[in-house]
Amino acid sequence: MKILVTGAAGFIGFYLAEKLASLGHSVVGLDSINDYYDVNLKYARLSHSGIKQEQIQYGKRIESKSLSNYSFIKLDLTDSEEVSALFAGEQFDCVCNLAAQAGVRYSIENPRSYIDSNIAGFLNILEACKTNAVKHLVFASSSSVYGMNEKVPFSVADAVDHPISLYAATKRSNELMAYTYSHLFNIPATGLRFFTVYGPWGRPDMAYFKFAKSIFENKPIEIYNNGNMLRDFTYIDDIIDGTIAAIDRIPQKNPVFDSLNPKPSQSSAPFAVYNLGNSKPVKLLDFIETLEKAMGRTAKKSFLGMQPGDVPATMADIDKTHTDLGWEPKTTIDNGIKQFAKWFLEYYKKGEAG
């Protein structure tokens, strides 16, 4: 298959593009390489994929030096003309949209960037999929769509009408937009609700990464809600396996959809949504203790209250994911943190962080 992976300089997109290319697919990676977090890390990921920083120019396609069937193009999804031209020229079989303005708290401070990237940019993806008859659109949603839900585990059968951050609202909007295009234009689309993804090459704005950096620099770590948080930490390798399983399963119209009693987990269109989570939430203080052991250092701790946009607990119900995709996570939190800590210490001790 010819597959477009947007967000290819990002955490999940970087892994997915490499894995798909290693499986023999023809992969085009796309990213705007914005400065929401350290661009040196983004360029380091691309370098790992055989894309050299000095070759990157806006709109120029670059062939990987190490992956024979992978190429990269720096492009902003809000650039509708360039996006349309790319789709028309490549005729992708599948599109994996992982590009987005991420971050819950940042969405409170910089709302417009979320509308531009997550709404306008996603609309350009949908329009291009429609025009070029893309066979399957897979896109990143988020566990944040569950918002004020206190019932755990979170199920795709639950209503998700009460987001508590603009980031969550844009991710839910993506699901609704994709469903609408799926209904109107028969575009098979699959949304993936990721739960707290972690691992090597991760995002510096994520709490676990900030913890590691503060421990490494012997600075206090800020622990919100006094540490009384539960998070469904999900290792990157498991996320990639689940995403590829979703790519391989093109959704069909549900023949038992009842328009008199519509359910969130069913669709009259070729559309599906799945949770990708570990389904074993970890208390934040326990996670930090495991991270301390893996890094061989003790953290200085600063306890703070609940932050706007945060929820006290996340946990994925993955029954539907297992049934439909045959997927379940395999990585324990101990093994996952060890792998992350090993990479983190090597990366920062080498000075690759810039």
Q: What is the CATH number of the domain that holds 38?
A: 3.40.50.720
pTM of the predicted model as reported, rounded to 2 decimal places: 0.93
- pLDDT reading at 232 higher than 80: yes
Determine, yes or no, domain membership for 343.
no
Does residue 111 lie in a domain region?
Answer: yes
Report strand pairing: 230-231 vs 189-194: unpaired
The answer to the question of residue 338 being in a domain is no
Pairing type for strands 136-142 and 61-63 reads unpaired
Catalytic residue among 167, 179, 181, 235: 167
Task: Kindly state whether residue 226 falls inside one of the protein's structural domains.
Answer: no
Query: Is 181 a known active-site residue?
Result: no
CA–CA distances in Å: residue 29 to residues 87, 174, 198: 13, 21, 21
Question: In whole angstroms, how far apart are CA 115 and each of 98, 123, 271?
Answer: 16, 11, 23
Residue 259: helix, strand or coil by DSSP?
A: coil
8 A C-beta contact, residue 277 and residue 327 = no
pLDDT in tens, 301-344: 888 777 776 677 889 999 999 999 999 999 999 999 999 999 99
Does the residue 198 lie in any domain? yes
Residue 347, domain member (yes or no)? no
Convert the pLDDT of each residue in 38-87 to its tens digit.
999 999 999 999 999 999 999 999 999 999 999 999 999 999 999 999 99
- Tell me how long the chain is: 354
Domain count, the chain: 1
Digit-coded pLDDT (tens) for 111-138 = 888 998 999 999 999 999 999 999 999 9
Q: Does 46 map to a domain?
A: yes
Range of the domain at 266: 2-202+233-277+315-330
